[in-house]
Structures are given as C-alpha cells and as structure tokens.
Amino acid sequence: MTVLVTGAGGFIGGHLVADLLNQGKDVRAVDIKPQDEWYQVHADAENVVADCADMGDAHKIAVGTEEIYNLAADMGGMGFIENNKAECMLSVLTSTNVLVAARDAGTQRYFYSSSACVYAGDKQTDPNVTALKESDAYPADPEDGYGWEKLFSERMARHFREDFGIETRVARYHNVYGPLGTWTGGREKAPAAICRKVLEAKHSGSNQIEIWGDGKQTRSFLYIDECLEGTIRLTRSASFEGPVNIGSEEMVTINQLVDIVSDIAGKRLNKKHIAGPTGVRGRNSDNRLIEQRLGWKPSATLRAGLEKTYSWIERQVHSNSRAAAQ
C-alpha cells in the first residue's frame, strides 16, 4: 500500500517524503506546483503534479493509499496570511476533497496539518502568554482567514472519524522552521526572514536590521526534525481523538530571536522597529497532552535549530550572489 503526502513540494512535505522513504515506505508525493518549483524532489517517490482542490484529482491520488498526510495549503508567514485571507480560506477545498477521497478510497489513516493560528485571540494578547492548551481554541476566535479555515477543517476531520470510522489525526503546528524552506519572497516565516536579514546586513556592512512591530511579541519555534517525529508518532498512534499541539515550549521575543541569529552570525546589529504585520502578542505551546498520550514532546533547543537553518540560508545567499555576478 502507498503513503500519500499532499503538499509534498512544500517545506514540511518535502522533508516528510524523505523521512517516509527512509522508513522503506512507498510514497506518492503530490503538489500543484510544477516539479521544478518543488523544494525537494525525491527520485524514489511517485511524484505527481495534481490539484487537490479538484475533486477528480483528489480521488485519483487517493487510490490504493493506507495513510494520507494532508499538508497541502496556500499559506506563508504572518505577512502573507494577514494580506491574503481569501486565498488562505480557499484551502478548505483541498481539505474537504482530500478527506472525502480518503473515505472513498478506504484509506485507514488520515493526518491533517492544522496550525496554532486556530487559538482564540483573547488568549494571546500578552507577550507573557500562558502556554496554549488544546481546549483554548474555544470559544472560537482564530486568526482571521487562515485560522478559520484550519479550525473548520479540524472539525471536519473529527466528524469523518465519528461518522465514517476513518482514523483521523490532527496536529496544531507551532511555527515550523529549518533548512530547505522558504527564506525570501514574502511567504517566509520569522526564523528564515531574520536569518536572511542578518546575512544581508553582514554582507552589506550595515549595522541595522528592520523588525516589524516593537519586537516584544513572543513565539515558540519548532525545528523540522521534531515536527516530523511528532507527526508520524501521532498518525500511527493507537488512539488519539482531537487535535494536539506539536510545538516547542521554548518561548522567545522576536527581539531575542534576532539576538540569537546575530550571535550565530557574529554580527552585532541595531534593531529598527517599523510598522508591519505582527500577529498576536504572545503564543506558546502547552505540550502536556502529547507527552501524556504519546510519551514524547519536542525538546531540541532553538539555537541548535537556528544554527542549521542559518548555515543553509547562508549557502543560498552565496549561491544567489554568485549567480547574479555571472
């Protein structure tokens, strides 16, 4: 039987395909983008260009699958999701069609990648936020656009489990980052954007970096390897009803995030705070449920993951600079 990964041309999807192939699985990797735009293309996978928002395509790619990891969505960092709410909500077509196709194909297990953006805004107004537990998504007041789509799709997965017996699993990802991801162009998230900005300042000789807002907003960031481990553990768990956080509990301000990257780069920078999308004031992951139910929670330090991410982005910047000079 085949394991299907939708959104396989994206950051998390590309890493997940690699991990599943290393486990000896037969993997069908699907994305709407042309393959030359995929972050990773693995020769050992069955690589398919298809539109999961199209019901016909969704049914075709689900045939013969035992597990489906649905990561396909139109999304990006805060700058993207705050300015493209309708585009983000249209991902409901993908979420719906892949779940229906899983039911019709007799797929045993279905994983849905949700987001910490589902959490109620009134619980995220203070930088010194109490870590968000899974029940804090209700009463509902999620991130407008993107968060509402994710919350609706979570509920749909729940009811497909109740009504049709599909073993659905839902993870709420908290700011996943790492190498081989988006690092420029407007869809990148904070860790990659800051790595790029620090590198640009280092190469230009500038002593300044621009930060959206006052930099006191807080977040936790999850390294990609731990995201993958949590995702697979959850999907193959014997029993797990309801969404669960997959995120780090190491909370930092955006100013502190800049300081860590600057230290890795060996470059002292002055912060210039400017107007821009900042999202909620504080967000952190409460990992008690996943530790209780799966006996595991993410534990890697932010600095360790940033060192790897910075090194990879540095190579991309150098590669782009050499290409531009030719």
Residues catalogued as catalytic: 146
Q: In the chain, what is the straight-line distance between the N-terminal and C-terminal CA atoms, in Å?
A: 47
Provide the residue type at 79 as one letter: G
> For residue 210, what are the CA distances in angstroms to 34, 83, 253, 325?
34, 20, 15, 26
User: Are the C-beta atoms of 320 and 283 separated by less than 8 Å?
Assistant: no
Closest to 198 (Cα-Cα) out of 257, 252, 251: 257
> Residue 305: what are its φ and ψ, rounded to 5°?
-70, -35
Return the structure tokens found at 203.
Answer: 């190469």
Tokens of 120: 């109620």
d(CA 95, CA 54): 11
Tokens of 113: 């990648």
- Cβ-in-10-Å burial (0-12, 13-18, 19+) of 135 comes to exposed
φ and ψ of 84, to 5 deg = -140, 55
Report the DSSP beta bridge partners of residue 48: 30
Scanning the structure block, which residue is given the tokens 């999907």? 235
